[in-house]
């Protein structure tokens, strides 16, 4: 089967959120982990909890755009590991319900779309997903990883990439 927009978005976003969930699981087992949700890479940057919020929010907004469903408004109110895991699980559950044909079809449709830092633009779902969402989710997941490493959490490259390897290399190819 050909690689589709669904694969490039829904599968990729789910896998990125799995990575995020996995590195949070390692982090919460670290001594002093109660301070980590508010840890920052640098003082003028947003904390770990925001990185989780933003990654999940971008994934959910794109899911709404690519499935024609309303976007769930959610607050940036994550204060604990339980909150962060719950938000990730909620969005992954929504992603799991996405219909492949609908995503691929609506990805081609041009519609008014709210683009962060640019306002409303008439663009395709594919343009929004590939030009805004996927890079933003990857940025926020990588930033979460960097914050945790800076704070001494024992993570390695393998912790970051294994969900991607599992999804795209270890899983039987169709």
DSSP string, 7-49: IIIIIHHHHHHHHHHHHHHHHHTSTTGGGGGG--SSTTS--HH
Rg of the chain over all Cα atoms, to the nearest angstrom: 16
Q: Determine if the pTM surpasses 0.85.
A: yes
Each residue's pLDDT, cut to its tens digit, for the chain (174 residues) gives 689 999 999 999 999 999 999 999 999 999 999 999 999 999 999 999 999 999 999 999 999 999 999 988 888 999 999 999 999 999 999 999 999 999 999 999 999 988 878 889 999 999 999 999 999 999 999 999 999 999 999 999 999 999 999 988 887 766
- Least Cα distance to 121 among 129, 130, 112 occurs for 112
Domain CATH number, residue 9: 1.20.120.450
- The residue segments making up the domain with residue 57 are 5-170
Distance CA 80, CA 77 (A): 9
* Number of structural domains the chain divides into: 1
Asked whether the beta carbons of 136 and 59 are under 8 A apart, the reply is no
**The predicted structure's pLDDT at residue 2:** 87
Distance CA 48, CA 85 (A): 12
**The predicted structure's pLDDT at residue 136:** 96
Distance CA 81, CA 89 (A): 12
- Least Cα distance to 9 among 134, 140, 166, 112 occurs for 134
């Amino acid at each position: 089967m050909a690689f589709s927009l669904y694969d490039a978005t829904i599968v990729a976003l789910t896998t990125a959120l799995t990575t995020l969930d996995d590195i949070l699981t390692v982090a919460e087992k670290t001594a002093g982990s109660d301070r980590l949700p508010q840890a920052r890479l640098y003082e003028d940057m947003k904390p770990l909890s925001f990185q989780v919020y933003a990654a999940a929010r971008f994934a959910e907004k794109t899911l709404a755009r690519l499935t024609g469903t309303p976007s769930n408004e959610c607050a940036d109110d994550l204060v604990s590991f339980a909150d962060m895991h719950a938000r990730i699980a909620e969005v992954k559950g929504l992603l799991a319900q996405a219909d492949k044909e609908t995503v691929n079809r609506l990805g081609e449709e041009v519609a008014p779309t709210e683009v962060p830092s640019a306002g409303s633009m008439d663009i395709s779902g594919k343009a929004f997903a590939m030009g805004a969402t996927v890079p933003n989710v990857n940025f926020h997941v990588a930033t979460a990883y960097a914050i945790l490493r800076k704070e001494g959490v024992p993570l390695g490259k393998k912790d970051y990439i294994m969900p991607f390897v599992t999804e795209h290399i270890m899983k039987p190819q169709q």
